[in-house]
Amino acid sequence: MSRTTAVHIDLAAISENIRTLRRGLAAHQFMAVVKADAFGHGAVQVAKHIEASVDALAVAFTEEAVALREMGVSAPLLILEGPHTASDLALAGKLNLWPVIHSDEQIEWCKTLGADLSQAWIKIDTGMHRLGFAAERYAGVRDILLSYGIGEITAMSHLASAEEPDDALTRAQLLSWEETVRHGQDTTSLHNSAATQRGLSASSDWVRVGYALYGGQIKGLPNPAPLRPAMRFSSSVIALRDVPIGESVGYRGRWTAQRDSVIATVPVGYGDGYPWGAADGTPVEIDGEIAPLAGQVSMDMVTVDVTDCPNLTLGAPAVLWGDQPSIDDVAEHCGTIGYELMTRLTSRANRIYHT
C-alpha cells in the first residue's frame, strides 16, 4: 500500500515540551491534559510515553479514563467533567480516578461513594459559567466532601481568556479565585497552557496543560522558550498540471488562475480532517516551500498553486501542518483554532509514532 498521507506524532517533542514548560515553573505540580485522544495525538501512546515525567494526567470523562487504565496507564487521572452518573463515581473509587465535583447531584453520590476516593477536585465557577459552584459555596462543599471521607481536596477553576490577563473577565475571575482560595489550606489549580506560558500571577499549585504540550502556540502569547509541534500532517503530490490563465480549479470553480499556473494535487481532504473551510491562500509546504491552497478542499484531495515552486516532480513531499506551516497559521486561514484542527483528524490517515 502506498498512500503517503499520514499523521506523524513525535513523542519526543511532547517530552521536550514538558521539560521546557517545567523550566519556567516554580514548585508547581504538572498535569498533562490528554483528553480527546490527547488532542488527536493518541491518548494511550502519549499517556504511556509521558506518565513518568508528569504528576498526573487529565481527561474529560470517565470512559476516556477507563480506556487508559485498561491499557495499563497507572498515573493519577483527573476527570475534568467529573462523574456523569453514580456508577461513574463508583468506577473512580475502583480505578483511583480523581473526580472533579461541580454539582449538587455529584455531592449526593459522594455521600455513599466518597470514602473510596483518594482525592476530589472542587470546581469553582469564577465567571466562565460552564461548570462549578458559586465561589461562596466553596468552603461548605469542601466540608461536606471531607465529612464523607474523601482523602484530599483540591480547589480548581478555569479561565475563559487566560491569554489576555488584562481583560475585564480575566481580572474578575482572578479576583473571585484569590478571594476564595487565599486563606484555605487546600491545594489549588487554575493554570492552563496560556496562564502557564504567561506566568500568570495567581494561586495554582497545579498547572493543567493541554495545547502547549503538543507544541500549539496560542496567538498573542510570548514564546521565549519555543515549543516543538508534535504533529506533522503530511502527504505528497500525486498530480501536476498546467492550468492556463482564466481557467478555474476544483468544486464550483472557486479559484481562477490569474496567470498561466501549475497546480499540484495532494491526496488529503476533509475526509482525513483537513478543514473544508480552508480559504484560498492557506499555506501548504510543498517540497520545502510554502505554497498557497488554490480551490475548495475536496473529501480526498486539495489543490495547491505551485507556479512559484520550480523543478517540482510527482511524489514531492507536502506538509499540511507541522514545523511549517504551523497548525496555528493554518487555523487562521480556516476561521478556526489549532485545538480544533488537532482534534478533528479522522482515523483515515495513519498515525505514525516517532520517539
Ligand X SMILES: Cc1ncc(COP(=O)(O)O)c(C=O)c1O
CA 127 remoteness from chain centre: 22
- Piece of 47-55, 62-70, 136-144, 189-197 that binds ligand X (CB under 6 A): 189-197
CB-closest chain residue to ligand X: 210
Q: Which is nearer to ligand X, 174 or 212 (CB)?
A: 212
**170 in contact with ligand X (CB under 6 A):** no
Question: How far apart are CB 303 and ligand X at their closest, in Å?
Answer: 33
Q: Check if 148 is active-site.
A: no
Exactly one of 109, 121, 206, 211 binds ligand X (CB under 6 A); which one?
A: 211
**208 in contact with ligand X (CB under 6 A):** yes
Q: Which is nearer to ligand X, 11 or 21 (CB)?
A: 21
**197 in contact with ligand X (CB under 6 A):** no
Q: Check if 35 is active-site.
A: yes
- Piece of 89-97, 138-146, 205-213, 342-350 that binds ligand X (CB under 6 A): 205-213
Question: How far apart are CB 210 and ligand X at their closest, in Å?
Answer: 3
**210 in contact with ligand X (CB under 6 A):** yes
Question: How far apart are CB 189 and ligand X at their closest, in Å?
Answer: 8
Give the separation between CA 303 and CA 39, rounded to whole angstroms.
27
Q: Which is nearer to ligand X, 158 or 307 (CB)?
A: 158
Cα 259 to Cα 114, 244, 246, 296: the distances in Å are 70, 7, 7, 19
Exactly one of 65, 89, 110, 209 binds ligand X (CB under 6 A); which one?
A: 209
In the numeric block, the cell 511549517 is attached to 324
What is the DSSP track for 35-97?
A: HHHHHHT-HHHHHHHHGGGSSEEEESSHHHHHHHHHTT--S-EEETT--SSHHHHHHHHHHTE
Cα 334 to Cα 114, 162, 328: the distances in Å are 45, 23, 10
- Piece of 4-12, 14-22, 209-217, 276-284 that binds ligand X (CB under 6 A): 209-217
Give the separation between CA 183 and CA 310, rounded to whole angstroms.
66
Question: How far apart are CB 35 and ligand X at their closest, in Å?
Answer: 7
Interface of this chain with ligand X, residues 77 to 116, rule: CB under 6 A? 80
**192 in contact with ligand X (CB under 6 A):** yes
Q: Which is nearer to ligand X, 49 or 102 (CB)?
A: 102
Question: How far apart are CB 299 and ligand X at their closest, in Å?
Answer: 29
Nearest 5°: the CA angle 163, 169, 174 is 80
Question: How far apart are CB 64 and ligand X at their closest, in Å?
Answer: 13
- Piece of 48-56, 207-215, 263-271, 318-326 that binds ligand X (CB under 6 A): 207-215
Dihedral over Cα of 259, 265, 270, 272: its sign: negative
- Piece of 108-116, 190-198, 268-276, 312-320 that binds ligand X (CB under 6 A): 190-198
**158 in contact with ligand X (CB under 6 A):** yes
Q: Is 8 exposed, middle or buried (0-12, 13-18, 19+ CB in 10 A)?
A: middle
3-class state of residue 340 by DSSP: helix
Count of positions on this chain that bind ligand X (CB under 6 A): 11
**50 in contact with ligand X (CB under 6 A):** no
- Asked if 149 and 115 touch (Cβ cutoff 8 Å), the reply is yes
Q: Count CA atoms within 13 Å of residue 95 on its CB side.
A: 26
SS (H, E, C) 106-142: HHHHHHHHHHHCCEEEEEEECCCCCCCEEHHHHHHHH
Sheet arrangement for strand 239-243: 239-243, 261-266, 302-305
Q: Per the structure block, which three cell numbers stand in for 83?
A: 462523574
The catalytic position among 94, 111, 219, 251 is 251
Residues that bind ligand X (CB under 6 A): 33, 80, 158, 192-194, 208-212
Active site residues: 35, 251
